[in-house]
Structure 1
Amino acid sequence: MIIGIDFDNTIADYTGVFYRVGCALGWLPESVGQSKNEVKQYFIDLGNEAKWTELQGIVYGKEITQARPYPDCLDTLKQWRKQGHTLKLISHKTRYPIIGERVDFHVAATGWLEANGFVGKIDAPFEKTDLFFNETKEDKLLRISTLDCEIFVDDLESIFNHALFPAQCKKVLFNTRSNDPTLVPVQLWSDIPDKL
C-alpha cells in the first residue's frame, strides 16, 4: 500500500513548544495555558495575530528542534516499511515565514526528520525523495492524489473534507476528535495498524 502521512502535529508533536518559546521571548505571561490553541487564543484576544504568526515562524523554523516525535510514531512507520508499504510524507508548509526572520521551513523540517531517525538511516521509514513539502493546501491535496495514496494520516479534518481529497483514499484522523462517521479517529500511533 501507499501510505501518506502529514508532518506537523501528526509526526512532530509541538506540545508545550509554543508556550515555552513565547515565554522565553517575553511575549507570554506564564499564566497562559500551555497548549498551542491557548497560546494562539491569547494573541487573538490581544488583537495581535501578527505576533502569533511571528511565533509560529520561530517555532517551525529555528526552534523546531524542541518538537518531539509522537510516541510510537517512528516504530509504527518502520514496521509499515518492513511490511513492504510505500511511505510518503506530504505536508502543507510554506517555505518561509510571513513575518520575522527568513528561515527555510522545508530545510528545518528535513533536518528535524534526520535528527529524529525518520530519514538518513538504514532503517529509516523515509528516503529524502519521499518528502513532499507543499506551499499550499491545494498542492498538498493534489500530491496525495498524484502519488495514489491509499491511506492518509493527518490531524486536520479540513484536509479530509476538502473537495480535492481523493475519494478512494482511506482517512485516518490523528489525535483529533470528530463526529464524522467517514473518518477513522485514532489517539495513538500504536492504534493505527489495528484500525487498518
Structure 2
Amino acid sequence: MLIGIDFDNTLIHYGLVFRELAVERGLVPPSIPADKEAVRAHVWERFDDLEWQKLQAAVYGPGIGRGVFMEGAPEFLRLCRSRGIDLCIVSHKSEHAAIDPGGVNLRKAALGWMEEQGFFVPVHDGGFGFARSDVFFEARRAEKVARINRLGCAVFVDDLREVLDHPDLNGSVRRILYRECLDATHDYALAGPWPSISEYLFVGGRE
C-alpha cells in the first residue's frame, strides 16, 4: 500500500512561524494566537493582501527552518515504516513565491527542512527512510492530483478539501482530511489529527 501525504500545513506546522515573523514585521500584536488563520485574518483586516503575500513568502522560504512537525506526524511515519508501508509526499508548491520571483527557491527550502528532520536518513539509522524520488512538487493543483493518480496512492492525507474533492482524483483513493482536532462534519474516510489517523488506519485494521 502507498500512502501519499501533503507537506505544507499537513506534515509541517507553521503557526509559530507566522506569528513570530508577523510580530517582527509589526503586522500583529504578540498576543495573537500562533495560528496561520488568525494571523491572516488580522493582516487582512489591518493591512492588505500584499502584506499577507510577503509574509507567506518569508514563512515558506527563509523562515521554514522555524517550522516544526505537526503533532503525531513523526510517530505516524515511523509506524508506517515499521509495517513496511510505502510513503510519498506530493506538494502543490511553486519554485518561487509570486510576490518574490527572484527570491528563495521554495522547493529547495522545503527539501532542506526535510533533510534537517531526517527524512532522507535510513530507518535503521533513526530517520524516516524517504528517498528524494519519493518527494514531488507540482506547480498546479490539477498536476498534484494527476501525480497522486499516477503514483497509485491508496490513501492521501491533505489539509485542503480542494485537493480531496478534486473531480479528477481517482475514486479508489481513500481521502483523509488533516485537522488538528477531530471533525465529524465531513465526507471523508476521516478528518482529524495524526494520532487519530494512525488509529484509524492501523488499530482499526484498515491498512
TM-score (norm 1): 0.92
Amino acid at match of 1:81: R
Aligned to 1:16: 16
- Partner SS for 1:3: strand
Amino acid at match of 1:151: V
| Matched ranges for 1:31-180 at <5 A | 31-46=31-46, 48-100=48-100, 102-119=103-120, 121-123=121-123, 124-175=128-179, 177=183, 179-180=185-186
* Offset, 1:28: 2.5
* Offset, 1:14: 1.1
- Partner SS for 2:156: strand
Amino acid at match of 1:140: K
Amino acid at match of 1:105: L
CA distance 1:95–1:178, change in 2 (3 Å): farther
Distance in 1, matches of 2:12 and 2:31, equals: 25
CA distance 1:72–1:30, change in 2 (3 Å): closer
* Offset, 1:164: 1.5
Pick from 194, 198, 204 the counterpart of residue 193 of structure 1.
198
- Partner SS for 2:87: strand
CA deviations on 1:132-173 (whole Å, 9 max, x unpaired) are 011111111111000000000111122111112211000111
CA contact (8 A) 2:19 2:34 kept: yes
- Report sequence identity in percent: 30
Amino acid at match of 2:187: P
CA deviations on 1:19-42 (whole Å, 9 max, x unpaired) are 111111223333544321111112
Distance in 2, matches of 1:26 and 1:47, equals: 11
Unmatched tracts of structure 2, length 5 or more: 202-207
CA distance 1:44–1:158, change in 2 (3 Å): same
CA contact (8 A) 1:93 1:135 kept: yes
Aligned residues: 194
Distance in 1, matches of 2:33 and 2:82, equals: 40
Q: Report the RMSD for the aligned CA atoms in angstroms.
A: 1.6
Moved more, 153-162 or 93-102: 93-102
Amino acid at match of 2:91: S
CA distance 1:29–1:193, change in 2 (3 Å): closer
Moved more, 80-89 or 176-185: 176-185
- Partner SS for 2:3: strand
CA distance 1:194–1:31, change in 2 (3 Å): closer
